[in-house]
């Protein structure tokens, strides 16, 4: 998108202690030096905008020596890579640290919005306001009103179906889909040996280190390939690179075509011939430019790209082109001097083959960023912006055409918009089209979605969220409805603990309930097919309150005598724990393994530790769970569950009852 994430008693004792003390000091000094070295490497990558590598290094540095600057930069790296779950986790750590700056509270609030936690975001905005004398009440009202608007939109969704275009998407970034003849052309940074390799982008600038070689394969901001254009038939078929000679080894952005398919406008980046001297700056800004190619119908190929008249890559960026069907007006975004702020939307008209002066569409631009303009058949403007009331990140807006100008823009609401970035909205007819989003529940980073404003058969889904143990209703809990292979819808329960959704025929759904201090509750997949649309569908959700450090027995986690191997019956139970950890991504778990009383006490302690480590390794490798979320402890025979201690005659079944693994939640 040119869019741009533990550790003797004798007279010689005093000497011995001295030697140990010296050794410990040397060891700690070595660890400190190593932590400083890793921190230095992380800072270098961070300053070069190589956030994917910086995050890895900061995490190592933080484990060795937790500091505020390390946590700040780690949190910010995840935010800039749009890994908002990890960003929220680390900003929560940052704001709790001594001497943390008020700005961190504001950014924490923004990240909470990205994770649909609007009520919590409002509290952080208010906290920031009280700590910042220069913050105005008008600003606070704007921030909190944005949260209120988002919650209102979620409770009153737009009647539109949104489908993830699974055939087009990958775990990488896929976005900017447009129709071109009988094909769909889009942008991706997928791994493909047959293509030029590019990356996803989310910023109007591309940064490189001027004092080192630029990797033509990997873009440091994301750790992915460079962006390129791809195509696929609208009726199916293989995906392949869009064939034309772009003249760059780096980013090629989303394309726009005239109605006759003869002209194509797109964004690309390349290195300038006259690079700044190495002693003038460490970082060079590589700006974006719009280029144009014309299709040669005789030779069946695209012409060499020609730069747009108002490119000035040495000074500013021009990108996100949209060419009107007749080829006479080009809409684009730029941070050229004289704008309102960030990236603004402009347009140029062509008279006698010459592009006129760019016109700033001031009625829709803000002090922040406007992106990806699109004009429909009636001349209405669609765009994305992060500078007006929205759900979080970039939201899609519509500005109605009025004479020669546009009215103020209106948010398209939920679920067209999400708490993350939503952009590249294009219509293929009056009621359907494509948009791009990195919303949760997708296949990868940015995904391509199709949408259709239709009136399918509607059903009412409702229910209550209860405390699993007390049956008390849980108000203000979060309920997420996931349409399988589609999008997510999120609501908060009311004062009665009640929630409701409008759902559609011939779809399969899944419900998830969440509330701070509780384990997530899930209603597994259910379908609407064959149900009476006049009868409400009732699905209640039960959440279990978290009790820290309470031992929870894993059923069937038993071991053979004198063995630490994970048996098939134990694996099935560990799979359930993996599911819990995936549904609750902030949980930190302690695994405790126990033996029976047979064999030597010290041996049993060692055996229990091996068993705990085996269970932890299974969860990490099979479940793909971060090892930082797991702690393994072995207790040997010190915590027997029955009378079968040393010397007591017991059956094999009684001994096996003690050969167990338990887990306890120690943090959430």
d(CA 374, CA 385): 13
- Has residue 23 got a pLDDT over 70? no
Q: Torsion angle of alpha carbons 546, 551, 556, 558, nearest 10°?
A: 150
78 or 647, greater pLDDT: 78
What does the pLDDT read at residue 326? 96
Whether the per-residue pLDDT at 204 is higher than 80: the answer is no
Is residue 7 included in any domain, yes or no? no
Residues 96 and 151 in one domain: yes
Q: For residue 348, what are the β-bridge partners? A: 330
5 within a domain of the structure (yes/no):
no
Encoding tokens for residue 327? 């080829």
Q: How far apart are CA 319 and CA 345, in angstroms?
A: 10
Q: How confident is the model at residue 26 (pLDDT cuts 50, 70, 90)?
A: very low
- Domain identity same for 397 and 259: yes
Residue 594 and residue 659 share a domain: yes
> What pLDDT, on a 0 to 100 scale, did the predictor assign at position 284?
56
Residue 325 is part of a domain; what is its CATH number? 2.120.10.30
The closest of 451, 555, 414, 509 to 177, measured between CA atoms, is 451
Which of helix, strand or coil describes residue 48?
coil
Evaluate whether residue 570 is within a structural domain: yes
Give yes or no: residues 189 and 214 share one domain.
yes
Secondary structure of 190-254 in HEC code, one letter for each residue:
CCCCCCCCECCCECCCEEEECCCCCCCCCECCCCECECEEEEEECCEEEEEECCCCCCCCCCEEE
pLDDT band at residue 1 under the 50/70/90 scheme: very low
- Of 110, 135, 155, the residue that ends a domain is 155
pLDDT tens digits along 440-487: 888 878 999 999 997 668 899 999 999 999 999 999 999 999 988 777
Same domain, 395 and 463: no
Confidence of residue 561 (pLDDT cuts 50, 70, 90): low
Q: Are residue 117 and residue 34 in the same domain, yes or no?
A: yes
Both 107 and 222 in one domain: the answer is no
**pLDDT value of position 35:** 67
The domain boundary, picked from 497, 517, 545, lies at 545
Domain membership of residue 136 as a residue range: 13-155
Identify the CATH number of the domain in which residue 641 sits.
3.30.1330.60
pLDDT band at residue 248, thresholds of 50, 70 and 90?
Answer: low
Q: What pTM was computed for the model?
A: 0.66
Average pLDDT, the chain: 84
**From CA 354, how far away is CA 348, in angstroms rounded?**
10
Q: Summarize the confidence of residues 122-142 as an average pLDDT.
A: 92
Do residues 512 and 365 both lie within one domain?
no
Task: Tell me what pLDDT residue 272 has.
Answer: 54
Residue 151 belongs to a domain with what CATH number? 1.25.40.10
Tens of pLDDT, residue by residue over 411-442, are 999 999 999 999 999 999 999 999 999 998 88
**What does residue 657 show for φ and ψ, rounded to 5 degrees?**
-60, -30
Q: Within this chain, do residues 126 and 230 fall inside the same structural domain, yes or no? A: no
Residue 556 belongs to a domain: yes
378 and 463 both lie in a single domain: no
Last residue of a domain, one of 545, 574, 603: 545
Residue 243 lies in a domain: yes
How many structural domains is the chain composed of? Answer: 4
Whether residues 177 and 80 fall in one domain: no
- Omega into 223 within 30° of 0, i.e. cis? no
**Same domain, yes or no: 147 and 195:** no
Name the more confident of 217 and 360: 360
% of the chain residues with pLDDT over 90: 53
322: which residues sit within 8 A by CB, 6+ positions away?
Answer: 256, 265, 330, 331, 332, 372, 373, 374, 375
Residue at 21 is within a domain: yes
Mean pLDDT value across residues 76-102: 93
Q: What is the pLDDT of residues 291-330, one digit of tens each?
A: 999 999 898 999 999 999 999 988 999 999 999 999 999 9
Spatial separation of the C-alpha atoms in residues 467 and 571, rounded to whole Å: 29
């Amino acid at each position: 998108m040119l869019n741009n994430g533990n550790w003797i008693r004798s007279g010689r004792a005093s000497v011995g202690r001295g030697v140990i003390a010296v050794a410990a000091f040397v060891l700690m000094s070595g660890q400190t030096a190593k932590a400083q070295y890793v921190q230095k490497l992380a800072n270098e990558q961070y300053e070069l905008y190589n956030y994917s590598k910086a995050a890895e290094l900061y995490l190592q540095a933080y484990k060795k020596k937790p500091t505020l600057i390390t946590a700040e930069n780690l949190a910010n790296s995840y935010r800039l890579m749009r890994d908002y779950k990890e960003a929220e986790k680390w900003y929560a750590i940052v704001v709790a640290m001594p001497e943390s700056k008020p700005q961190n509270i504001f950014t924490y609030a923004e990240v909470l919005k990205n994770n649909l936690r609007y009520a919590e975001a409002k509290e952080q905005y208010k906290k920031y306001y009280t700590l910042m004398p220069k913050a105005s009440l008008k600003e606070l009202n704007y921030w909190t009103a944005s949260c209120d608007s988002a919650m209102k939109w979620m409770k009153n969704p737009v009647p539109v179906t949104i489908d993830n275009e699974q055939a087009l998407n990958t775990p990488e970034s896929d976005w900017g889909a447009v129709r071109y003849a009988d094909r769909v052309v889009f942008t991706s940074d997928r791994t493909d040996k047959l293509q030029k390799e590019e990356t996803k982008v989310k910023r109007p600038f591309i940064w490189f280190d001027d004092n080192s070689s630029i990797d033509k394969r990997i873009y440091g901001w994301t750790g992915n390939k460079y962006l390129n254009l791809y195509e696929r038939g609208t009726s199916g078929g293989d995906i392949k690179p869009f064939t034309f000679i772009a003249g760059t080894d780096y980013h090629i952005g989303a394309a726009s075509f005239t109605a006759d398919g003869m002209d194509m406008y797109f964004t690309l980046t390349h290195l300038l011939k006259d690079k700044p001297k190495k002693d003038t700056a460490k970082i060079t800004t590589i700006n974006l430019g719009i280029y144009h190619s014309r299709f040669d119908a005789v030779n069946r190929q695209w012409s060499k790209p020609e730069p747009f008249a108002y490119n000035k890559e040495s000074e500013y960026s021009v990108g996100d082109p949209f060419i009107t069907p007749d080829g006479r007006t080009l809409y684009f975004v730029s941070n050229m001097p004289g704008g309102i702020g960030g990236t603004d939307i402009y347009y140029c008209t062509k008279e006698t083959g010459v592009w006129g002066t760019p016109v700033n569409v001031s009625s829709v631009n803000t002090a922040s960023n406007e992106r990806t303009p699109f004009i429909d058949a009636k001349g209405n403007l669609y765009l994305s912006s992060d500078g007006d009331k929205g759900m979080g990140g970039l939201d899609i807006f519509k500005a109605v055409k009025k004479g020669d100008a546009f009215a103020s823009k209106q948010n398209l609401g939920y679920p067209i918009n999400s708490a993350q970035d939503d952009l590249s909205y294009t219509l293929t007819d009056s009621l359907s089209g494509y948009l791009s989003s990195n919303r949760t529940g997708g296949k990868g980073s940015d995904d391509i979605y199709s949408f259709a404003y239709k009136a399918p058969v509607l059903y009412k889904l409702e229910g209550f969220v209860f405390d699993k143990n007390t049956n008390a209703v849980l108000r203000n809990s979060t309920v997420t409805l996931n349409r399988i292979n589609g999008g997510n819808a999120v609501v908060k329960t009311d004062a009665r603990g009640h929630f409701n959704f409008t759902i559609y025929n011939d779809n399969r759904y899944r419900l998830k309930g969440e509330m701070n201090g509780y384990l997530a509750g899930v209603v597994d997949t259910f379908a609407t097919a064959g149900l009476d649309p006049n009868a409400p569908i009732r699905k209640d959700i039960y959440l279990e309150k978290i009790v820290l450090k309470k031992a929870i027995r894993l059923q069937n986690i038993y071991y053979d005598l004198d063995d630490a191997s994970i048996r098939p019956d134990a694996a099935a139970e560990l799979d359930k724990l993996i599911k819990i950890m995936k549904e609750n991504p902030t949980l930190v778990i302690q695994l405790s393994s126990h033996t029976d009383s047979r064999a030597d006490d010290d041996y049993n302690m060692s055996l229990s530790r091996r068993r705990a480590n085996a269970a932890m390794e299974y969860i990490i490798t099979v479940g793909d769970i971060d090892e930082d979320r797991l702690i393994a402890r072995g207790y040997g025979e010190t915590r027997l569950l029955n009378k079968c201690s040393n010397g007591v005659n017991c059956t094999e079944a009684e001994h096996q009852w003690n050969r167990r693994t338990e887990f306890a939640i120690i943090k959430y």
